[in-house]
Structure formats: structure tokens, C-alpha cells
Chains A and B, each alone.
Chain A
Amino acid sequence: MTTRALEAARNGAAAAPAAGLARLKRRAGRWALRGLAGLVFFFIFIPVIFVLWISLFQQQIVSFPPEGYTLRWYENAFARSEFRHGFGLSLQVAFIAMVIGVTSGAAGAYAIVRFRFPGREAFNNLLLGPLVVPGIVAGTSLYVYYIMVENLLDVDFRGTLHGLVLGHILLTIPWTVRLVSASLVGLDRAVEEAAMNLGAGPWTTFRRITLPMMRPGLVAASLFSFIQSFENLELTLLLVGPGRTTLPVAMLNYLEFRIDPTIAAVASVQIVLIGALMLITDRFVKLSRIV
């Protein structure tokens, strides 16, 4: 503060008032920039804030100001089977898709980063491919494909757990390949060589050195894979069946008719779950360094 005042005084003494005006202008500009940035920040948070807020409203029809606050809509949300089952199914699908997607994706990323072979770049593009295809297109193509396969093989795919999981693995593979590749590229190979020189076998080196060094990438990949699957709507829309609906699809069906504190309570549960997952993961891996 004092140095700034000193500097200002020195400059003020030396230069004409015009310089002071320019300085004032610059300072105003800086505050305008900060103000705008703050507004943008607030803007992206508006929907989250309002969902959390109205889930606590006393009255059933959303209007402002609230007549009071209550937690009963959470009870009400839990009592509705489509949300309870949807939540359970989404957890199940996201967990299984995460395990399969992260395992196979990490193995693929390892091969791409560590080995040189023809078609390496093409494989990399193939595994990142699901990011490029719009969710709704991937979903409809899986829908017609499942019907075709069902007719050929007499096995159910639509509205089944395995049908959903196989689709959702597509969401998890590209994230895993990206995050694990990034963590592998930054890995110092000298440490592995040192372990080998000290007599560690290849498998020991992999298990004791390489795998622990890959951990941040694997943890981040698991988090993002789980979330991508859990909140997915577009790819899932046509793959769910009667009585087997994921949470986002159940929410969409409800929201097409009304917005009320019950659906806000469901959405709040999802917000809290995802927030908690991100915070817990951040304790192990610095998320800000990954995204």
C-alpha cells in the first residue's frame, strides 16, 4: 500500500494530470474486467444454486419468495420409485462402466505411449473417437444396432444392465486414454531403469514403480469416467426400458411436465454426490493440474 502510494506520488509529481487520468482509467478498466469475470462466474453457478435452494422450499409450486423451508421433498423424492431405482441403476451402470473402461482404456493408453508400432496414431484416434460422435447419434445408432443384434442372436440388449454398460463404456474410454496418456508421457523413465538395474524383474518394476507413478492419471480417469456415465442423458435415452431407467432420464421425463421442489431435491442429491466425489478425489490428485 505504502509503496504504491509512494509510486503514485512520485509519478504524480513528475507527470502532468493526464498521466493520473490514464492511471485512473487503467484502474477502472481493471475493476471492470474483474467485475465482468465475477459475473460470468456467478452466471455458470446460477442453475446449481437455484436447484439447491428450491429443493428446500416449503411450498410445492415454485414461487418466490419461499414461504419457509423444509426437508420433506427429499423424503418425497426418495419415496418415488422411478428416482430411487434410477439412482440405483445409474450408480450400478457408472461403476461397472468405469471399472471396464478404465482398465481397458489404461491398457490401451500404455500401449500407445510405451510402444512403437504401425497404426499407433490410428488406434489413438479410434479410442478418442467416442468424443467426436454426438451423444444422440451414438445413442440412436446403438439403439438400431441392438435391435438388429437382438433379432440375430435372440439376446436382449435394450433396457438391460449389460446393454447400458456396454454403451456407457464408450463414454469412459476416451477420458481414460486422454488422462492416462498425459500422466504416462510426463513419467520419468530413468526411475524404471534404475529399478531394473538394481535387480527388479520386469513385473516387479511395473507393479512397484510404473503403476504407482500412473496412479494420479488412473484416479482422475476413474472420477471423470464415473461422472460422465452417471450424468449421461443423450446416449442413454433410447437404451433404457420400462422399469429400467437411469436417473438423468427419469429426471428429464419428470421435468418435461413440471419443475417442483421434489425434482430439485433429486437434482440436489446428484449435485452433492458429484461435488463430494470431486472433493475427495482432489485430496489424492490435484484436479486443477489435470483438467
Chain B
Amino acid sequence: MATATAIGARPGGQRAEGFSLGPFLLVPASLLVVAFLAAPLLVLFRYSFNRYSPREFMVDAFTLENYARFFTDAYFIGVLATTVQVAAVCTLVSLLFAYPLAYLMARTESRWKSALVIAVVFPLMVGNVVRAAGWMAVLGNEGIVNHLMLSIGLISRPVRLMYTPFAVYVGIIAVVLPYMILTLQSVIEGIGREVEEAAANLGAGPMTTFRRVLLPLSLPGVIAGGTLVFILCMNAYATPVLLGGPQFKMMAPALYDQFTRTTNWPFGAALAFILMTSTLLLTIVGTTVLSRRMHHRKLEAAPR
């Protein structure tokens, strides 16, 4: 119980002098993360510079050829382009769809509010595989969408919806929407209602209030939600595999294939770091563009 004593001994916690055992409470968790995340990532990074040989499997080397191969191979450039496109479209669409619901959830005074929040969290918790299964039943040739369109005579034979990019978009948007809704909701809640009322009193219509007041003020939430959702889309695995079929390749499934089908570890390792680096770069670019715009708005608005 030595550590517990140390905890209690410093209720102020700010004492700089002397030696405290408190920080040692960090040791178990830090060791676990270092041993099972940081160290494996380092090993993988090292492997990305190795050479692949079909006969000897992996040869120790220090070469950039895996990275070079990626950027010269049209197929893999295409995979990355598809991934970025899916991520960008899904981020934008989920932003558009999430905003109204997030706004209403932030502003409601209904006693059902907490139930509503839990209801938004719930689909997020049931897991991607389960939700992909649901979409398979909805979008399949025998699925409900085709059944409804056939029965009202909109189409005469089933339209192929499953194993198309469309199915992947639908599936991913449904996966990321709750994240966007919850992020936007918490930011909109922080914006005082009186700001909107002031705009309305000064004669602004709802659209103007939204465009000139609410949207600029909620831009931090848009950026935070957009970043989170974009990262999730870039790394999507279960949804593209189950709803897109084998023809539709995104980065995460392509990376997995390198370890299971082709067993080209060095190239698979390079794919992993290309995926993480491109996600990071694109998020930084997106965030700076948006926050610069926010900054400009402020400057524009100042003299008036």
C-alpha cells in the first residue's frame, strides 16, 4: 500500500520539492503502451526498409524501394486516391447530415434529451461488423430497397447496390455520423442561445443567422468533428470489405492483404506508414485551411 500512502500524502498535489511516488502510478499503463504499441510500430517501421524476396521472404536491408514502388505503381496510387475520395465525400456528407440533428439535440429542453444522446451512441457501440450485416440485408438484390422499388414499379429487375462504391459510402457515412453528431452537439451547446436571438432581433433571417453567426461560431466543432471522421474513414476496414466486395480496394484492406495473401511484409509495412502519413498531412492541410478562413472572417468582421 506504499503507493496509496503516497497518493494521499499530497492532497495539494502541487508540491515541487521532495520526491513523490505519485508519478510512478503511470508505470504500468505506460509500459503496456510502450511494449505493445510503440515497440511494435518501431519494428514495423524498420521492416518497411527491408527487401522482399519471394524465396527468402524478407531480407534485411536498408532500402526505400517499398516506398518508391508505391508511388510508381498506378494500382496503389489508385487505392490511395479512392481512399482519400471516400474519406472526403463521407466527411462532407456526414457534416451536412449531422448538423441539423446536432443543432436540435443541443437546443432541446426535452426530458428525452439524454435518451436521445444514448440512442446516438448506441449504434456506434454495436460494432462495424454488425452494422455492415444490416446494410447487406438492406442493399442486397433481395434486400428491402430493391423489394420496395420493385413493388412500386420503379424498376423491373433488381438494381445492383451491394458490392458497389455506393454501398461503401452509405455504410461508412452511417458509421461515422454518430461521432460527428456528438462532436457538433457539444460545441453548439457551448454557444449561447442569446447570440442567435440577438441576430434575429437585428433582423437576420434563420439562414443568415446560421451562415453569419452559428456556423462561424461552431467552426471549431466542424473542424474537430471533420478531423475525427476523416481519420476514421481513411482507416475503414470492415465496411469496404463487406459492402464493397473484392473489386473495391481501400488502403486498410490493401494493407491487410499484403500480410495475409502476398505475405510481402516490407511493402505492407510501407503501406501502413504511407496511410498514417497521408492521413496526418491531409488533416493538417484541412485544419489549417478551415481555421485560416475562420481567422479571415474575424478580421473582416472586426471593423464593422
The chain A residues found within 8 Å of chain B, CB to CB, are: 22, 26, 29, 33-34, 36-37, 40-41, 43-51, 54, 61-65, 100, 103-105, 107-108, 110-112, 114-117, 120, 123, 126-127, 129-130, 133-138, 140-145, 148, 166-167, 169-170, 173, 177, 189, 192-193, 196, 201-203, 205-206, 210, 227, 230-231, 233-234, 237-238, 248, 251-252, 255-256, 259, 263-264, 267, 270-271, 274-275, 278, 282, 286-289, 291
Contacts and interface: CB of A to CB of B under 8 A. Distances in A.
Question: Which 8 residue pairs spanning A and B have beta carbons closest together?
Answer: A202-B8, A47-B134, A231-B127, A288-B114, A145-B40, A134-B235, A141-B40, A108-B29
Contacts of B259: 140, 143-144, 238
B138 A201 contact: no
Interface stretch (B31-39, B61-69, B72-80, B286-294): B31-39
Given A62-B142, A110-B22, A203-B8, 17 more contacts: A37-B104, A51-B130, A63-B147, A108-B25, A108-B28, A111-B22, A127-B33, A130-B37, A134-B234, A134-B279, A141-B43, A145-B36, A170-B33, A173-B29, A270-B126, A271-B130, A288-B118
Given A133-B41, A140-B268, A288-B114, A64 B143 contact: yes
Contact of B44 (A117, A144, A227): A144
Question: Which bracket fits the contact residues of B?
Answer: 35 or more
A114 B134 contact: no
Contacts, number: 306
B120 A44 contact: yes
Nearest to A289: B114
Given A142-B36, A202-B7, A227-B125, A259 B140 contact: yes
Interface stretch (B13-21, B190-198, B218-226): B13-21
B133 A267 contact: yes
A69 B61 CA distance: 61
B130 A47 contact: yes
27 contacts: A29-B206, A36-B101, A40-B97, A41-B119, A43-B177, A47-B133, A48-B130, A50-B135, A50-B144, A51-B133, A63-B142, A104-B28, A108-B26, A123-B26, A127-B29, A130-B33, A135-B237, A136-B272, A138-B41, A144-B40, A166-B32, A167-B36, A170-B32, A196-B11, A248-B129, A259-B140, A274-B127
B145 to A, nearest CB: 10
Contacts of A110: 7, 22, 25
Interface in B40-96: 40-41, 43-44, 47
A110 B24 CA distance: 10
Contacts of A117: 20, 22-23
A107 B4 CA distance: 10
Interface string B234-277: 11011001100000000010011001100001001100100110
A178 B205 CA distance: 40
* Main secondary structure on A side of the interface with B: helix
B155 interface: no
B208 interface: no
A50 B8 contact: no
